[in-house]
Amino acid sequence: MNYIIPSLARVTVNSTAGLVGRPSIEVDGTSFALNGRNVSYRFHVDAQTGDIILTHFGGPVTEDPVQDPSANGGGWSTQMHLRREFPDLGRGDFRTPAVRIKQSQGHTVSGFRYKSHQVVAGKPPLPGLPCTFGGADKEEEGVETLVLHLWDECSSVAADLAYSVFPEHDAVVRSVSITNRGSGPITVEKLASLSVDLPHDEYEMLQLQGEWSRECTRTRRKVDYGLQGFGSTTGYSSHYNNPFLSLVSPDTTESHGDAWGFSLVYSGSFLVEVEKSPQGLTRALIGMNPSQLSWPLGPGETLVSPECVSIFSSAGIGAMSRKFHRLYRRNLIRSRFVNETRPVLLNSWEGLHCDFDGDTIYKLAQESADLGARLFVLDDGWFGDRYPRVDDRAGLGDWTVNPRRFPDGLRSLVDRINKLKVAGSDQPLQFGLWFEPEMISKKSVLYEEHPEWVLHAGEYPRSETRQQLVLNAALPEVQDFIIRSVANILDTVPVTYVKWDNNRGMHESPAPENHHAYMLGMYRVFEELTTRFPNVLWEGCASGGGRFDAGILQYFPQSWTSDNTDALDRVHIQFGTSLVYPCSSMGAHVSAVPNEVTGRVTPIRFRAHVAMMGGSFGLELDPSRIPAEDKARIPDLIRLAEKINPIVIRGDFWRLNLPESSNYPSALFISEDGREAVLFAFQIRATTVHNFPLLKLQGLDPRATYRLDGERTLSGATLMNGGVQLRFGTDYDSKVLLLERVD
């Protein structure tokens, strides 16, 4: 047998917890090892073909595993047995490729061979795209980047694979760039950010699929022979599928087993492909959606892919999620609010929709302050003069205040609102405002003046959704208009929070490549506005969670998780979203019952407890129209939300019981220093003559002593191995318990 055992064994095993004392990137000739604390990612250059061959991506190893890469019994092709890091097209690898280039001669064959490499300290930014950041200097980070330069000598096209290692997070981040060094034009038809070939084994794939009001539904299925996949063609990451994939072993659970997570740092259309090959290898690809790419590259031009963050955990899906959360809080979200507690807010949408005037808004703001909210948010319906936005049929694009609703102007309203004092304090009530700047109504001055700014394809009718069209943000003049419109308001009105909404998908794109050009345009807009207004708390939104992705997190530290505020559904949606995104980034509000979307009635305590699991807790109701006893409970619930918010924002999240499989979903947040924790426990349905289950906590120090809800003290060992039996009453009962380390 032809065993391949390369060297690279210059590292030390310090404990079973992982390998320490080794550089983040080790290079031995043309063999490479990327080392995280608990992960190894290793590949080398095949001497004959110049191809990059993966040898290991998983738990820490000190050398390549013993392996015989050739197929048992030969086979029909020259490449199907290979674990290729950048599978190109047309030379015998019949699996789905990571790259497809239409060369200037018209064919789509590529042949990339290793040419050289370089290692750079830290993490270089990606031009025009959101991306993780990190330094090599800071002792706790040790981020380094390896760039492999590949070259196709037949087409004179270069490909650079950039791998950055975040050793503390067991994360390897990859992006790819293609440069046309030939003399004729080429078209990049497909460019996956990640392509990885896992060895012959059984895997399951975990994804977050859904719809409007049902975002991030956790779905798990077997990886079987053939091609499976999902993605978005909506122009945005979408409600349908989130740009995230996890591969797990069949026996992997929340707290046990191998889990690989792949998260694309991108907000546009994307594609995930998982292919189990005839020889049993599993290939996973994730990147921009090739059906909407066709990116032309003239001589000397480059296309850079978004990056994909890959994280490995051998301790189950929960540990994988926590690594994503920490990485995204520390090395992706740029906002100064990332670690700050968020002001409790009251948003006008579900309470008033577009049906208000200056007086009703001021009254709602007064009620907000009286209940203890710190921020009042004026949602849709405040703008438009010739075509006032009094419902969803007009006004988008005309970002000036409606003079009939607010005769004294927005500034004067906000000045009055700022004079209101938050109950129990002398703090002024802050003001936040809703925008939907990427959109345009046909009934708007903007459409009359600039019909050419709308996405359109020749003579095809410009099809409307929710009576609106999409501005073509690929055009610099549209980007400038959006920046100007939003900045005009922020420069003249003391707005401390912006909700950036986006309520329809893209139709009638003028060209396939316009989709990516649109996203690049929007990233320019986000970059410019968030840099110019760093003290504004920006919240993303797209009919709920239609653009909840790692790309948007770079600019907006939080997003509206779903338009579905039904607390039972929200348990599923928020648990699902937390698979990859930190709870600090979720907006979660208490609304009135019966719920607007589901018609379900749940107690206010349950609604509030569920919303407290999101970093940005708020109310979305008209207090004058809810039962007096519910209203009376709100101030205490706000106080509790504020008390625990620092742990929700900065702590680690442990999903204890999943809502898909338990009548008692539960979760624990543990502060970074381990001294405080908050336990959330829910009962969905009341049962009769049943014992309540013992809820076993996780993540505590077994030797430490904790005080549970200000009363009993128990060891971490007892809390985790013995558990706590909680007594519940009716349907939708809930508890939020505090734990304090006392030794």
Q: Both tokens of residue 55?
A: 């040898």
Question: Is the Cβ of residue 206 or residue 541 nearer to ligand DGJ in the bound state?
Answer: 541
Lookup: tokens for 482:
């959006």
Nearer to ligand DGJ, 349 or 654 (CB): 349
Give CA–CA dist 310/244, Å, rounded: 10
Out of 64, 152, 170, 563, pick the active-site residue. Answer: 563
Tokens of 356: 């208000």
Task: Give the residue at shortest CB distance from ligand DGJ.
Answer: 380
Residue 380 assigned ligand-binding role: yes
Residue 166 CA to residue 656 CA, distance in Å, equals 27
Q: What is the nearest approach in angstroms of ligand DGJ to the Cβ of residue 710? A: 37
- Residue 720 Cβ, how far from ligand DGJ at the closest point, in Å? 39
Q: Which residue, among 645, 646, 640, 597, has the nearest Cα to 620 in the 3D structure?
A: 597
Which is the catalytic residue, given 170, 370, 501, 622? 501
Q: Is 229 exposed, middle or buried (0-12, 13-18, 19+ CB in 10 A)?
A: middle
Question: Of the two residues 501 and 513, which places its CB atom closer to ligand DGJ in the complex?
Answer: 501
The minimum distance between CB 702 and ligand DGJ, in angstroms, equals: 43
- The SS3 assignment for 219 reads strand
Smaller CB separation from ligand DGJ, 572 or 605: 572
Sign of CA dihedral 258, 218, 621, 735: negative
Beta strands in 298-452 (DSSP E): 302-304, 308-313, 345-347, 375-378, 430-435, 439-440
CB of 466: closest distance to ligand DGJ in angstroms? 8
Please state the closest distance from residue 279 (CB atom) to ligand DGJ, in A.
46
Q: Is 212 among the annotated ligand-binding positions?
A: yes
Place of tokens 């968030």: 530
For ligand DGJ, the closer CB: 189 or 501? 501
* Amino acid at residue number 378: L
Nearest to 470 by CA among 499, 426, 437: 437
Residues in touch with ligand DGJ (CB under 6 A): 349, 379-380, 434, 501, 503, 541, 543-544, 560, 563
On the 0-12 / 13-18 / 19+ scale of CB atoms within 10 A, 17 is: exposed
Distances (CA, A) of 693 to 109, 682, 716: 60, 12, 18
- Shortest Cβ 542–ligand DGJ spacing (Å): 7
Per DSSP, 453 falls in state G
| Residue 239 token pair | 């409600």
Instruction: Considering the complex, state which of residue 168 and residue 380 has its C-beta at the smaller distance from ligand DGJ.
Output: 380
Please say whether the beta carbons of 298 and 178 come within 8 A. Answer: no
Integer-rounded Cα Rg, in Å, for the chain is 27
Q: Find the shortest distance in angstroms from Cβ 380 to ligand DGJ.
A: 4
Q: 115 burial class (0-12, 13-18, 19+ CB within 10 angstroms)?
A: middle
Tokens of 108: 């789509």
733 is in an annotated binding site: no
503 known ligand binder: yes
Q: What is the DSSP letter of 118?
A: E
**Two structure tokens written together for 678:** 């908050």
C-alpha distance from residue 447 to each of 442, 444, 454, 470 (Å): 6, 5, 8, 11
Q: Which CA distances in Å does 466 have to 213, 352, 436, 439? A: 16, 19, 13, 11
| Tally of CB atoms within 10 A around 218 | 21
Q: How far is the CB of 212 from ligand DGJ (least distance, A)?
A: 9
Cα(377)–Cα(355) distance, integer angstroms: 15
385 noted as active-site residue: no
501 is catalytic: yes
Least distance between ligand DGJ and beta carbon 263 (Å): 23
Q: Which residues pair with 198 in a beta bridge?
A: 282
Pick between residue 101 and residue 541 the one whose CB is nearest to ligand DGJ: 541
Closest CA to 678 of 696, 717, 652: 652
**152 annotated as ligand-binding:** no
If the CB atoms of residues 307 and 549 are measured against ligand DGJ, the closer one turns out to be 549
Q: How far is the CB of 588 from ligand DGJ (least distance, A)?
A: 12
Find the shortest distance in angstroms from Cβ 239 to ligand DGJ. Answer: 11
Residue 499 marked as a ligand binder: yes
Nearer to ligand DGJ, 33 or 536 (CB): 536
Q: Is 2 annotated as a binding residue?
A: no
Strand partners, 733: 683
CA dist list (Å): 511 to 295, 472, 710: 10, 11, 62
Q: At what angle do helices 358-371 and 628-650 cross, to 10 degrees?
A: 70
Nearer to ligand DGJ, 86 or 434 (CB): 434
* Cis amide linkage into residue 594, ω under 30° from 0: yes
Q: Where are the beta strands (DSSP E) in 16-79?
A: 18-20, 25-28, 31-35, 40-45, 52-58
- Closer CB to ligand DGJ, 541 or 586, in the complex: 541
Q: Which helix (H) or strand (E) holds 172?
A: strand 171-180
- The alpha helices in 450-513, defined as continuous H runs, are 476-492
CA distance to 14, 473, 525, per residue, from 483 (Å): 53, 11, 6
Please report where in the chains the tokens 């994730």 appear, as a residue. Answer: 286
Cβ neighbors of 421 (< 8 A, separation 6 or more) are 369, 427, 428, 429
Which residue in 102, 248, 255, 86 sits closest to 186, CA to CA? 102
**Least Å from the CB of residue 577 to ligand DGJ:** 15
- Identity of the residue, 335 or 543, whose beta carbon is nearer to ligand DGJ in the bound complex: 543
What are the residue numbers of the active site? 501, 563
Residue ranges of the binding site for substrate: 212, 379-380, 466, 499-503, 541, 563
Annotated binding site: 212, 379-380, 466, 499-503, 541, 563
